Amino acid sequence: MSRLEHIEKSVTELSAEELAEFTRWFEDLQAKRWDERFEADATAGKLDALADDALSELAAGRARRL
């Protein structure tokens, strides 16, 4: 049995309460990893062009502040 199959089997055996707790933990993990990736991309300048485009659109009157 692969590692993933073992995890899947274990998850299917959780009680409703355990599954809810696992779901909260997993969603927090996904959010943390997304935040880390976003921060790394921002630090590396990967979002600079997108930000520049948005600021240009705003300056040209084709966008509005939220």
Q: Look at the pTM and tell me if it is higher than 0.75.
A: no
Q: What is the predicted pLDDT for the residue at 33?
A: 99
pLDDT for 60: 94
CA gap 28, 32 in Å, rounded: 6
Residue 65 has pLDDT above 90, yes or no: no
pLDDT at 29: 99
Helix/strand/coil for 15: coil
Confidence category of residue 57, pLDDT binned at 50, 70, 90? very high
Alpha carbon dihedral 8, 10, 16, 19, in 10-degree steps, equals: -60
Kindly report the average pLDDT of the chain as a whole number. Answer: 96
